[in-house]
Amino acid sequence: MANDKSSMQLISRGILSENPIFKLALSMCPAVGISTTVMNGLLLGIAVLFVQVFSSVTISIFKNLIHPRIRIPTYTLTIATWVTVIDLVLAAYLPEAYAKMGIFVKLIVAFAIITMRLEMFASKESVNDSFWDGLGMGLGFMVGMMTIGFVRELLGSGAIFGYDVLGFKPLLFFILPSAGFFVVGLMMAFFNWIEIFYKRSKGLKR
Amino acid sequence: MNLAYTRYIVLTALLFLLAPIFARAEGLVVNQKFISDKEIQVTFSGPVDKAVTENIQNYTIYEEPDPDIRLELSSAVLADDGKSVTLFFKEPLNTAKTHVITVHGLAGIDKTTFTVSKSYLGYLFGILISALLINNFVFTKYLGLCVFFGTSKKKDTAKGMGVVFTMVMVVSALMSWFFYNFILIPFDLNFLQIVVFIGLVSLTVQAVDTILRKVNPILFNSFGVYLVLVIANCVIIAVPLILANNNYNVFETFMLALGAGGGFLLALYLMSSVSERMQLANIPKTFKGLPIAFIVAGQFAMAFLGFSGLQLF
Amino acid sequence: MKDMLTIVVRLTISCLLAASVMGVCFIFTSNAKKHNEHVKEQQVMYELLGYKNGAKIPESLALHEVYRYVISSSEKQSIGYLVPKASGKEAGYDFVNIDLNGALLENKAVALSETEVLETETRNKAVQQAVGAGYTANFADRIIIVTDNGKRIAYLIGGKFQGFKTFVNVMLAVDPNFSLLGMEILEHEEDPGLGAEIEQDYFKNQFKGKPFEALKTINVVKAPIPDDYLKALTGKLSEADILKFREQYKDKDIYALTGATISSKAVSNGVKGIVLKFAYRINVLDKVLREQQLAVSF
């Protein structure tokens, strides 16, 4: 069960090579739906990070007690419990931010990425590794959300974290609801382009 | 034998549903409706006294939630046949609300009270259209995108998926409605919303899954890896969460679920039609796969933005 | 069979664990949530009255809450108001039942303390008791009467109306002549970039200072906001200039938001409806209180 993956590797894998948004293309709904500002991305990212880490650790601790036949229901129950917790906490202590994120906090329960990590990683690996893996995936999601939020907020309202940075009148289009699709699509294409470029330059050197 | 029973049950159910419409036709007042935002037309079963109906002092009119705020009439005009009267108001009415009208002294009766509202069927239909087009779950609420991008490659799969989703949605939404109204609310357990709803959805999906495996193995095979994802799909779980926020009754819940499912089916079908064409197109290497799918979805979303503000009833 | 048994046992245990985690969390957060909501509400109220973040609130300022109920039986309806009594803090409340023509039906004392009245269920039960069997009392809304040294200076009214997508929840402050002192959007679900702009200063500040007469016929115009007025609305000019512009535009219609005319219209109509209804009701209530010589705290 023990393996030689270091914590840094697990984290960087979540953020870069297996980024849940840009690479695995899972949990796209909030990436398109509420990524109008960096702040929204950050807050939902934190919520997902919390749920992912806690669920991963919980499942990893109890992995030998979970009957294989009721694997999926147990995962769902675990995730739903932690989502309820974060939902109640956010509603109580950060009511304004909670109102902005609307239904999406509750919908974390249906994020494919979390179930997938539980099934593929936490149910097999040690508690320690599961923690780092959950942290990596959660951070990857948060970084992805914040990047999209950054682009949309900068171009759409000319601000970052609510502070004006652009001197000119921004393009309203980028904060309109439908622009989320375009921004995510273009950014995916951009990352693909970098990857192709990188591979090609590597190939030339060799 | 069995068939006859079913027919009886369907007929009784229909009669039960239509009962309010028949019941309304009885009595002195036959029909009442909004003509414009300043006019209400009332039709009586027979000719009525002109002096009574044209005297605006004989009317008390208010919106149902505000019985103390009287709405002022500027005039009341009886039609030539003596059967229908048109009421003209000073201020524009809020036609979305139910208006209560009381006429004094009509046909020798001290008080005749009736209500005017927009047709309830129209309202229900409005919820359906709203969930289907105006607030399409995929293009304007951004839900269910994983499945949307995953299974919208072929038209056949898209259609099958859409139909199954609609079924699951309707069944799970109705069950959630009962749980929400009869268990969660009375016992103040609202914070268990998420767990209860996801449990009900999983249950429904499991049932559909078992049935489908027996009835249509071909469709079952085409689900592939997405079967696990369907259990906890955001587009399905979103319906109960939305209805919990809106205090819908059971008919409205049904319409919302049907509209949401239909909207999902529509989105999948539209997307798969484009995907089939795109396979023939020459797409830049960097845009192949998901990026171009997102751009297309964005264009659809912009087109769907055009539906906003659509009001049929 | 044995397999089944272990599944059932394990599932039960995990459900119990999950339930206890959620239950504990609920117990801890529900009080904090109520407290925070209350604090937030107070903050919004004081901001509407002109006491910005951190500004000192004078001791003489007092808020009196009046709850309105719609009383209905099978035959008739009436309106009931729960008003705080005049003397002392723990004086309790009077329940004033007024018929639809504005005449007093009955007046009863209701023993409720100031903290008890904040609890929706306790309050509803007490009111139900006061109206007696055969009648049902449905809570309609709450108004807050603001007094300074016993003199009325403003009313705070909450309200909800249909926006473009779903409901818009607002709180309004009006002065004793029913001119608007300010508006705050508490909750809405309009589109970001379009209808969601209703919560921006340049839209909601247009309502500031609108007199009652102008509100009665208020409408929206589809035109861009003049540049200097826009500056005044967003607070980029000096205090005196802002007041000058407010005076200049006070009888004008509301400039609609670009691309969100329906949302703008919904807000202006909603505000108009709330204020008109409130003005009628408070006059009726005041008349009854004066005629009956009831000692109330405001």
Where exactly are the structural domains of chain B? 27-116, 121-305
- At how many degrees (to 10) do helices B120-129 and B250-278 cross? 30
- C14 contacts on A by Cβ (under 8 Å): 62, 74, 77-78
What are the DSSP calls for C152-204, one per residue?
Answer: EEEEEEEEEEE-SSSEEEEEEEE-TT--EEEEEEEE--PPTTTGGGGGSHHHH
Quick check: C191 and C180 in contact, CB under 8 A? no
Quick check: B117 and A81 in contact, CB under 8 A? no
Pick from C30, C262, C277: which is nearest to B69 by CB? C277
Q: Which CATH architecture has domain B27-116?
A: Sandwich (2.60)
Sheet with strand B111-116: strands edge to edge: B59-63, B99-104, B111-116
pLDDT value for C90: 58
Interface contact flag, B195 C22, Cβ < 8 Å: yes
Residue A170: both structure tokens together: 């921004």
Which regions of chain A are under pLDDT 70? 1-5, 166-169, 204-206
Q: Most A CBs within 10 Å: which of C10, C43, C189, as the mutation test of the A interface?
A: C10
Handedness of CA B118, B122, B127, B130 (dihedral sign): negative
Interface contact flag, B68 C284, Cβ < 8 Å: yes
pLDDT value for B1: 45
pLDDT value for B47: 81
Number of B–C residue contacts, CB under 8 Å: 33
Residue B257: both structure tokens together: 């679920």
C positions 216-275 inside 8 Å of B (CB): 262, 273
pLDDT tens digits, B84-113: 888 888 877 777 778 888 888 777 777 778
The length of chain C is: 298
Averaged confidence pLDDT in chain B: 80
The length of chain B is: 313
For chain A, the maximum distance between any two Cα atoms, rounded to a whole number of angstroms, is 60
CA nearest C216 in B: which residue? Answer: B91
First-residue to last-residue Cα distance in chain C = 72
Structural domain count of chain A: 1
pLDDT value for B257: 92
CA distance A118 to A120: 6
Interface contact flag, A70 C36, Cβ < 8 Å: no
* pLDDT above 70 for B12: no
Res. B18 pLDDT band, cuts 50 70 90? low
Interface contact flag, A70 C194, Cβ < 8 Å: no
pLDDT value for A5: 61
Q: Closest by alpha carbon to A184, among B30, B295, B239, C7?
A: B295
Quick check: B90 and B72 in contact, CB under 8 A? yes
Task: Kindly provide the residue ranges of all beta strands, DSSP E only, lying in chain C, ordered along the sequence.
Answer: 61-72, 77-84, 93-99, 104-110, 136-148, 151-162, 167-174, 180-187, 220-221, 254-255
Is the Cβ of C201 closer than 8 Å to some Cβ of chain A? Answer: no
pLDDT tens digits, B137-155: 888 888 888 778 877 778 8
CA distance B73 to C50: 40
- Segments in chain B forming alpha helices (H): 2-25, 50-53, 120-129, 145-151, 155-179, 193-215, 217-223, 226-231, 234-246, 250-278, 290-305
CA distance C254 to C261: 11
CA distance B182 to C275: 37
Pick from C30, C191, C281: which is nearest to B68 by CB? C281
Average pLDDT over residues C163-171: 84
Q: For B2-16, C115-129, C197-211, C270-284, which range has the lowest pLDDT when averaged over its residues?
A: B2-16
Is the residue at A2 inside a domain? no
Q: Is B302 strand, coil or helix?
A: helix
Identify any residues that bridge with A159 across adjacent strands, giving them in sequence order.
A164
Res. C30 pLDDT band, cuts 50 70 90? confident
Is the residue at A1 inside a domain? no
Return the top range by mean pLDDT from A166-170, B267-271, C138-142: B267-271
- B67 contacts on C by Cβ (under 8 Å): 70, 72, 77, 79, 100
pLDDT value for B254: 92
- Give the count of beta carbons closer than 10 Å to the beta carbon of residue C199: 16
Average pLDDT over residues B192-208: 84
Quick check: B127 and B256 in contact, CB under 8 A? yes
- The whole-angstrom distance between residue C198's C-alpha and the CA centroid of its chain comes to 17
- Where do we find the tokens 């799918």? B293
CA C174 vs CA C151, C210, C264, C296: distances in Å: 15, 10, 20, 20
Q: Is C107 strand, coil or helix?
A: strand
* pLDDT above 80 for C165: no
CA nearest A156 in C: which residue? Answer: C193
Q: For B174-178, B307-311, C217-221, which range has the lowest pLDDT when averaged over its residues?
A: B307-311
Interface contact flag, C15 A77, Cβ < 8 Å: yes
Return the top range by mean pLDDT from A4-13, B114-123, B188-197: B188-197
Residue C17: both structure tokens together: 């664990």
Is the Cβ of A189 closer than 8 Å to some Cβ of chain C? Answer: no
CA distance C68 to C175: 20
Sequence-separated (6 or more) residues with CB below 8 Å from residue B234: A29, A107, A110, A111, B143, B144
For A84, the domain range is 8-205
Identify any residues that bridge with C71 across adjacent strands, giving them in sequence order.
C78, C137
Where exactly are the structural domains of chain C? 61-143, 153-281
Pick from A25, A30, A110: which is nearest to B233 by CB? A110
Interface contact flag, B229 A112, Cβ < 8 Å: yes
pLDDT tens digits, B209-220: 778 778 877 767
CA nearest B111 in C: which residue? Answer: C75
Residue B203: both structure tokens together: 């249950």
- The whole-angstrom distance between residue C106's C-alpha and the CA centroid of its chain comes to 26
ipTM value for the complex: 0.82
Q: Is C109 strand, coil or helix?
A: strand
CA distance B102 to B110: 10
- Segments in A22-177 forming alpha helices (H): 28-33, 38-61, 71-93, 95-101, 112-117, 127-157
Q: Is A85 strand, coil or helix?
A: helix
Instruction: Give the global pTM.
Output: 0.80
* pLDDT above 70 for C87: no
Is the residue at A3 inside a domain? no
Res. B27 pLDDT band, cuts 50 70 90? low
- A180 contacts on B by Cβ (under 8 Å): 142, 298
Average pLDDT over residues C259-274: 87
Average pLDDT over residues C262-273: 88
C-alpha torsion C174→C180→C186→C191, nearest 10? 160
Is the Cβ of A102 closer than 8 Å to some Cβ of chain B? Answer: no
- C273 contacts on B by Cβ (under 8 Å): 94
Is the residue at A109 inside a domain? yes
Interface contact flag, B309 C140, Cβ < 8 Å: no
* pLDDT above 60 for B21: no
* pLDDT above 70 for B6: no
- Long-range CB pairs of C138-141, under 8 A, 24+ apart, other chains included: C138/C69, C138/C70, C138/C72, C139/C67, C139/C68, C139/C69, C140/B65, C140/C68, C140/C69, C140/C70, C140/C79, C141/C67, C141/C68
